[in-house]
């Protein structure tokens, strides 16, 4: 019998159908556009999503349904489905670490092209918050702790994406710097702090890069929720910056009718439903919202559509397709930030005949952060797999590789290797999903290859979001070793875990504080079963999803041999003791860095610190690679030969790491965030609202600005990073009419920086320019990053870069005047390689 759901296929996993290009052209006279073809309801209909990811179409305006997808580290599309995978790019903190807007623009263009291939019109990216606290769950989605670096990288990203003919929705305007109570907290910050820090990247994306969409966040700023924040939406964004595009609500962030419409929100997502529609029409008819405001919103929507199509015409039809894997690999290596490299520990050369690759993340790297930013990748090699392949291709030398995880970092039972699973019905490799009605009738079934699934919509009727139907995930698992195995069933709701027809566990998991946790770290029930190597066991997870109205629904299967951590550690130490070098890949565990919740501490989880120390005690050439999107504590940093940050490098993690370790590519990264020596040194650590309020009391002193003021010594300072060659900074020349200039908004400073590559291989240096203002006002930073430039040169060669220090670097926001002011005085312009290594300087006088 054909089941009802299959007849409606392809719904699960369906991508939006290709839509015809838009006409009229981008030269559209929006102000003069005749909207009279539409009545009030017809116009308002266009302003709320038609579904979770699409806006409505309107033939009379030649408007097709604009489709949206999350970014920023890949284009997921409108489904999370392993059958419609996406390129998984280095996370934004990794892109920040490149300090390379040119490369980031290339990455952006590739994302835009992939979005087009998936029929996506608006990419919900980039995330341009500052890393106010290193514990921020979504810190990996941000580029940096510094507004100037963030702005430079973010503007390049937007330009890149939009040049391919896809609009960027820059998010989340404003001050969504942490996750705890993100739906409701009220950020209290002085206007100078907003102006000099948090608005800067948004301003660059809008004014310099022409971002077509801005997404307003869930939180409030200074008492008004961001979808109702007239001061920041209409006042700053639209009136002051002249933003001509549309303001889009974060998902379910619009929670009122008139207030949002009046404040400057233009588009409500998702839909259908929500606070606009008939309620907004009634408000207009009652004279509470002027109809011109509705027309303005429609025009802004058409502006977005026009921008997309204008760029598409310029980019051409060919600008659609999968991102080039070579670019992913290059970007991940360019982001790798080498922090310490004693006695040439890296790169690994022919003298390494036996290499120990150790650590939980060597075997299971965390390639991306959790939440809406995650994508099902098109493929990925672990560091162990990639390094083995790279070593096997070495012509002259044979290096033996031994791999040991050393310890565990997971909290939920890990998903099994798909190669160990078969669909119990078809016998094909993979798993089986079934959807059953409340009474048990089969509504639909699918053969799949993943072990975790997420839906925002498109489940068979009666399953999820209030329905009584169940989702069932089945697989036949083949054990690889003798002994007890942990089996986990994950999901939010009523779970039943069955092994070989016997119910092993049953229970109800709690509803998480934030809906997105349901897809990142849903509750789990567990059982332990004894298996012999080669034995097959049929495992079934049945979930009756919790009865909630919105948010994703996930189901998950985990199976792993019960770990013996003492034995794992001992095996790792043995491997390290017998090797010429030991690479230890530690870092975040699965589901530790995510949207929806903040991290609890900066320490590496589990026994990772102990593992690093134990390996370093037996091997002098211990190289630690930290695989995390945000800072972790590195108490062993002085006791190992080398340390590097790989960030969350996306699906090219393994290959890029092999390239860097073997010296095929130079590690190109510089820290976009300060790495603290101790939690207590961080200017802002926890970001937990007090009575619903988050006071940004530290003012301007976040990141290195706070470290410089307190005098605390970072473990590694902002901007620091080593390549495989060394550089001298030969000269800093002030261009133009001398070092004394009138102060003011036009007073930029042009510098020419000259550096020399002192080493024996080509490399790229990142020279950073900081401005140190004259007075010692303790509430202001000692110095701030003002500009930066990459210098590329071959061995012994010099390279020059011209940089512009903008007038703003010599200005500050004056609360009383409500404007920028440019105080006269002597400013020290410092140049060098990190916020704590600035060997060159020039004194500039503003009169």
Least gap, CB of 370 to ligand BGC (angstroms): 12
Q: Are 382 and 654 in contact (CB under 8 A)?
A: yes
Considering beta carbons, is residue 140 or 251 the nearer one to ligand BGC? 251
The three-state DSSP-derived secondary structure of 209-245 is CCCCEEEECCCEECCEEHHHCHHHHHHHHHHHCCCCC
Task: Report in angstroms the alpha-carbon separations of 650 from 598, 620, 647.
Answer: 21, 30, 9
Least gap, CB of 846 to ligand BGC (angstroms): 41
Least gap, CB of 215 to ligand BGC (angstroms): 7
The rounded distance, in Å, linking the Cα atoms of 647 and 626 is 7
Q: How far is it between the farthest Cα atoms of the chain?
A: 86
Of the candidates 52, 12, 137, which has an alpha carbon nearest to the alpha carbon of residue 520? Answer: 137
Q: Does 216 bind ligand BGC (CB under 6 A)?
A: no
- Radius of gyration of the CA atoms of the chain, in A: 27
Tracing tokens 């010692």 back to the chain, one arrives at 776
Please say whether the dihedral angle defined by the alpha carbons of residues 178, 181, 182 and 185, taken in this order, is positive or negative.
negative
Identify the bridge partners of residue 487 per DSSP, sorted by sequence position: 527, 559
Least gap, CB of 225 to ligand BGC (angstroms): 14
Q: Does 140 bind ligand BGC (CB under 6 A)?
A: no
Q: Does 404 bind ligand BGC (CB under 6 A)?
A: no
The rounded distance, in Å, linking the Cα atoms of 469 and 76 is 27
Residue number of the CB atom closest to ligand BGC: 372
Phi, psi of 227 (to 5 degrees): -80, -10
Sequence-distant (6+) residues with CB within 8 A of 835 are 674, 704, 707, 708, 717, 718, 719, 768, 770, 783, 785
Contacting ligand BGC (CB under 6 A), which of 99, 143, 251, 647? 251
The pair of structure tokens assigned to 434 is 């079934």
Of the candidates 666, 667, 662, which has an alpha carbon nearest to the alpha carbon of residue 390? Answer: 662
Contacting ligand BGC (CB under 6 A), which of 94, 103, 124, 339? 124
Q: Does 455 bind ligand BGC (CB under 6 A)?
A: no
Task: Report in angstroms the alpha-carbon separations of 127 from 73, 260, 420, 677.
Answer: 10, 22, 37, 27
The rounded distance, in Å, linking the Cα atoms of 348 and 395 is 15
Task: Establish whether 423 is a catalytic residue.
Answer: no
Considering beta carbons, is residue 52 or 784 the nearer one to ligand BGC? 52
> What does the per-residue mask of binding to ligand BGC show for 65-104, with x meaning CB under 6 A?
-----x----------------------------------
Considering beta carbons, is residue 370 or 416 the nearer one to ligand BGC? 370
Least gap, CB of 554 to ligand BGC (angstroms): 14
Interface residues for ligand BGC in 357-396 (CB under 6 A)? 372
Considering beta carbons, is residue 141 or 540 the nearer one to ligand BGC? 141
Least gap, CB of 677 to ligand BGC (angstroms): 32
Considering beta carbons, is residue 77 or 383 the nearer one to ligand BGC? 77
Considering beta carbons, is residue 175 or 582 the nearer one to ligand BGC? 175
Which listed residue (81, 121, 250, 609) is catalytic?
250
Contacting ligand BGC (CB under 6 A), which of 118, 132, 171, 364? 171
Least gap, CB of 15 to ligand BGC (angstroms): 16
Of the candidates 1, 2, 4, 11, which has an alpha carbon nearest to the alpha carbon of residue 459? Answer: 11
- The angle subtended at Cα 41 by Cα 37 and Cα 47, nearest 5°, is 95
Considering beta carbons, is residue 471 or 516 the nearer one to ligand BGC? 516
Q: Does 598 bind ligand BGC (CB under 6 A)?
A: no
Identify the bridge partners of residue 804 per DSSP, sorted by sequence position: 750
Contacting ligand BGC (CB under 6 A), which of 250, 423, 698, 830? 250
Considering beta carbons, is residue 137 or 460 the nearer one to ligand BGC? 137
Could you tell me how many residues of this chain bind ligand BGC (CB under 6 A)? 8
Least gap, CB of 459 to ligand BGC (angstroms): 17
Which residues participate in catalysis according to the annotation? 250
Residues near ligand BGC, by CB under 6 A: 70, 124, 171-172, 250-251, 372, 516
């Amino acid at each position: 019998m054909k089941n009802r759901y299959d007849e409606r296929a392809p719904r699960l996993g369906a991508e939006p159908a290709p839509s015809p290009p838009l006409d009229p052209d981008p030269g559209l006279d929006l102000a003069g556009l005749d909207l009279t073809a539409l009545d009030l309801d017809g116009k308002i209909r266009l302003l709320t999503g038609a579904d979770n990811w699409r806006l409505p179409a309107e033939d009379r305006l030649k408007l097709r349904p604009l489709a949206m997808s999350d970014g920023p580290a890949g284009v997921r599309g409108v489904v999370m489905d392993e059958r419609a995978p996406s390129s998984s790019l280095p996370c934004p903190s990794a892109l920040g670490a490149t300090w390379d807007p040119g490369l980031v623009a290339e990455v952006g263009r590739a994302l835009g092209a992939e979005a087009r291939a998936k029929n996506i019109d608006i990419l919900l990216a980039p995330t341009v918050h500052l890393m106010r606290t290193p514990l921020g769950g979504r810190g990996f989605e941000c580029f940096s702790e510094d507004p100037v670096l963030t702005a430079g990288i973010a503007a390049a990203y937007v330009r890149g994406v939009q040049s391919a003919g896809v609009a960027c929705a820059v998010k989340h305007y404003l001050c969504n710097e942490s996750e705890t109570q993100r739906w409701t907290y009220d950020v209290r910050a002085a206007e100078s702090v907003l102006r000099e820090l948090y608005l800067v990247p948004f301003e660059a994306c809008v004014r310099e890069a022409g971002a077509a969409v801005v997404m307003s966040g869930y939180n409030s700023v200074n008492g008004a929720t961001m979808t109702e924040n007239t001061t920041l939406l209409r006042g700053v964004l639209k009136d002051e910056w002249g933003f001509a595009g549309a303001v889009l609500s974060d998902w379910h962030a619009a929670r009122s009718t008139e207030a949002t419409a009046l404040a400057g929100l233009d588009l409500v997502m998702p839909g259908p439903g929500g606070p606009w529609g008939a309620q907004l029409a009634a408000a207009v008819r009652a004279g509470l919202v002027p109809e011109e405001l509705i027309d303005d919103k429609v025009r802004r929507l058409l502006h977005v559509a026009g921008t997309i199509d204008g760029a598409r015409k310029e980019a051409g039809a060919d600008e659609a397709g999968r991102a080039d894997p070579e670019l992913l690999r290059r970007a991940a290596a360019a982001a790798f930030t080498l922090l310490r490299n004693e006695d040439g520990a890296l790169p690994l050369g022919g003298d390494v005949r036996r290499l120990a690759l150790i650590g939980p993340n060597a075997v299971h790297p965390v390639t991306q952060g959790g939440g809406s930013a995650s994508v099902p990748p098109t493929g990925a090699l672990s560091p162990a797999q990639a390094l083995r392949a790279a070593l096997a291709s070495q012509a002259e030398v044979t290096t033996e590789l031994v791999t040991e995880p050393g310890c565990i970092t997971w909290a939920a039972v890990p998903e099994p290797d798909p190669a160990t699973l078969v669909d119990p019905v078809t016998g094909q490799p993979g798993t089986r999903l079934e959807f059953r009605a409340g009474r048990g009738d089969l509504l639909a079934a699918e053969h799949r290859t993943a072990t975790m699934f997420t839906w925002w919509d498109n489940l068979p009727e009666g399953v999820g979001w209030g329905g009584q139907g169940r989702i069932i995930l089945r697989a036949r698992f083949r054990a690889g070793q003798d002994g007890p195995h942990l089996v986990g069933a994950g999901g939010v709701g009523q779970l039943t875990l069955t092994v070989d027809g016997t119910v092993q566990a049953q229970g109800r998991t709690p509803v998480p504080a934030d809906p997105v946790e349901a897809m990142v770290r849903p509750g789990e029930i567990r059982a332990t079963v004894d298996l012999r190597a080669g034995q097959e066991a049929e495992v079934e997870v049945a979930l009756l999803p919790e009865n909630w109205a919105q948010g994703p629904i996930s189901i998950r299967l985990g199976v792993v041999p019960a770990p013996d951590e003492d034995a794992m550690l001992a095996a790792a130490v043995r491997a390290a003791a017998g090797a010429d070098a030991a690479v230890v890949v530690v870092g975040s565990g699965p589901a530790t860095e995510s949207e929806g919740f903040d991290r609890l501490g900066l320490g590496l989880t589990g026994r990772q610190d102990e593992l690093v120390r134990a390996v370093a005690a037996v091997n002098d050439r211990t190289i630690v690679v930290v695989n995390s999107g945000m800072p972790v504590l590195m108490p062993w940093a002085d006791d190992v030969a080398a340390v590097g940050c790989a960030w969350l490098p996306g699906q090219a993690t393994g290959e890029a790491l092999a390239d860097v370790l073997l010296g095929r590519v130079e590690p190109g990264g510089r820290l976009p965030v300060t790495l603290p020596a101790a939690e207590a040194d961080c200017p802002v650590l926890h970001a937990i609202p007090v009575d619903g309020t988050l006071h940004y009391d530290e003012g301007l002193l976040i990141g290195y600005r706070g470290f410089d003021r307190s005098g605390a010594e970072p473990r590694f300072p902002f901007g620091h990073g080593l390549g495989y060659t060394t550089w001298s900074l030969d000269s800093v020349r002030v261009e133009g009419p001398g070092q004394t200039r009138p102060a003011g908004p036009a007073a930029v400073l042009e510098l020419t920086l000259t550096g020399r590559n002192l080493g024996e291989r080509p490399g790229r240096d990142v020279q950073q320019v900081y401005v140190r203002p004259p007075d010692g006002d303790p509430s202001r930073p000692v110095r701030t990053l003002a500009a930066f430039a990459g210098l590329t040169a071959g061995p012994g060669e010099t390279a020059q870069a011209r940089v512009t220090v903008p007038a703003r670097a010599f200005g500050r926001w004056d609360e009383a005047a409500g404007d920028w002011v440019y105080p006269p005085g002597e400013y020290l312009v410092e140049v060098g390689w990190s916020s704590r290594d600035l060997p060159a300087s020039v004194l500039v006088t503003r009169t």
